[in-house]
Structure 1
Amino acid sequence: MIDVRPFNSLGGADHGWLKARHHFSFANYYDPARMSWGRLRVWNDDEIAAQSGFPPHPHADMEIITYVRTGAITHEDSMGNRGRTGAGDVQVMSAGTGVRHSEFNLEDETTTLFQIWIETDKPGAKPGWGMKPFPRSDRTGKFQVLASGDPDDGALDINADARVLGATLKAGESLTYDLAEGRRAYLVPAVGSIDVNGTVLNARDGAGIKDEPTITVTAHEDAELVMVDSR
């Protein structure tokens, strides 16, 4: 099963400094048919204007992953962490027992990113934050694990039985991914048009995938992929 969610069908909001599109119900956007995909609860496609951002606000018991597509985001939190995450790189925040944080675009250009929330497997855990560079050249033609609940993956740690993966494909290239029984994937091409098991996705469309033992992705044009594999 592949449930396609075209970009133009997504919910959204325009706050001036923030233009957001929501793959799932979020804030003032509510669609009972789009509440979550397994443990994946939020996938927001955000455009943040230069010299603006999210002021300090709280979270608890959620795994929050930020995949920066263009520009950069600067993070600060109540744990004393501060860091800048640039295009192609990833930051994670395990909100745990509670944390306040801000996310600002301190650049002179618009920052675009995917903000992904996954339900935690460890409520009440100690909060944490981390970031890591992931050169796009390291994921050419294959999925690279960017964040994971499995420490053997060598990725950023999250408190969830889930993986966040990234890949790049040249036009005409294909890759495959085995989806274990009982798991679901949600795939979004950040850039480019692709074919997923015979179904076409354009840039920033979403695809909820389940009961497909093998996922085969073929790029119609140069593409950059982000995917979550979870229960």
Structure 2
Amino acid sequence: MIELRPFAALGGADHGWLQAKHHFSFASYHDSEREGWGRLLVWNDDTIAPGAGFPPHPHRDMEIITYVRKGAITHEDNLGHKGRTKAGDVQVMSAGTGIRHSEYNLEQEATQIFQIWIVPARSGESPRWGARPFPKGARAGRFVPLASGYAQDDEALPLRAPARVLGATLKAGERVTHVIGRGRLAYLVPAAGTVELGNVAVAARDGAAIKDEETLEIRAVTDAELVLVEVE
């Protein structure tokens, strides 16, 4: 089953400095039909104005992945971590027993991010933060783990959940086959471009909720940049 969730139909909010779209229920947006997808609880598509951002605020017991689509985001937290994550790269914050952080766009242009929240397999662990560059050329024609809870994905940022966040870039007309595995869920969003999953066309920033599909056959209609989350 592949359910298309068009970008234009997503809930969201206009905060002036922040234009937010929500693939699942979040904050003041509620949709009883979209309360997450397995362990995947949040997928927000945020555009942050230059010089603006999220002031210090707390999190607890959540895996928070930020995929930067355009510009850069600067993180700072109460544990002393500070870092700038630029377009195409990824940061992961494991909130654990509690962390307080801020996220600001200190660039001269708008920053666009996907913020993805995954429920951890266990609670009460020490908080941590990390970021890593992921050159788009290294994901050409294939999915590469960007963040993962599996030991074999040793080049990905670690997650405390049985989940993966993967990225791929495809040229127009290129095809890729990806194995999800039996009994697992997936959620695909093109950061750019349009792809086809069988007879389902998924355009930039649309969501595709995937269930009972052990293997995905993906064809790029245009040059595309893809983010895929696999969860239980």
Q: Deviations over 1:27-70 (max 9, x none)?
A: 00000000010100000000000011000000000000000000
Aligned to 2:225: 224
Q: Extract unaligned runs of 5+ from structure 1.
A: none
Q: Deviations over 1:54-89 (max 9, x none)?
A: 000000000000000000000000111000000000
State the identity as a percent.
63
Offset of 1:198 from its aligned partner? Answer: 2.0
Given the two structures, how large is their TM-score scaled by the length of structure 2? Answer: 0.99
Q: Distance in 1 between matches of 2:99 and 2:214?
A: 38
SS at match of 2:101: strand
Aligned to 1:153: 153
Aligned to 1:13: 13
Aligned to 2:180: 179
Aligned to 1:105: 105
Q: Distance in 2 between matches of 1:165 and 1:102?
A: 25
Q: How does 1:169-208 map to 2 (within 5 A)?
A: 169-208=170-209
Q: Distance in 2 between matches of 1:149 and 1:214?
A: 20
Q: How does 1:131-170 map to 2 (within 5 A)?
A: 131-154=131-154, 155-170=156-171
Aligned to 2:56: 56
SS at match of 2:134: coil
Offset of 1:150 from its aligned partner? Answer: 1.1
Given the two structures, how large is their TM-score scaled by the length of structure 1? Answer: 0.99
Match of 2:122, as an amino acid? K
Structure 1 runs (4+) deviating above 6 angstroms are none
Q: How does 1:207-218 map to 2 (within 5 A)?
A: 207-218=208-219
Offset of 1:122 from its aligned partner? Answer: 1.5
Offset of 1:197 from its aligned partner? Answer: 2.2
Aligned to 1:28: 28
Offset of 1:91 from its aligned partner? Answer: 0.0
Offset of 1:152 from its aligned partner? Answer: 1.9
Match of 1:181, as an amino acid? R
Alignment RMSD: 0.6
Match of 2:157, as an amino acid? L
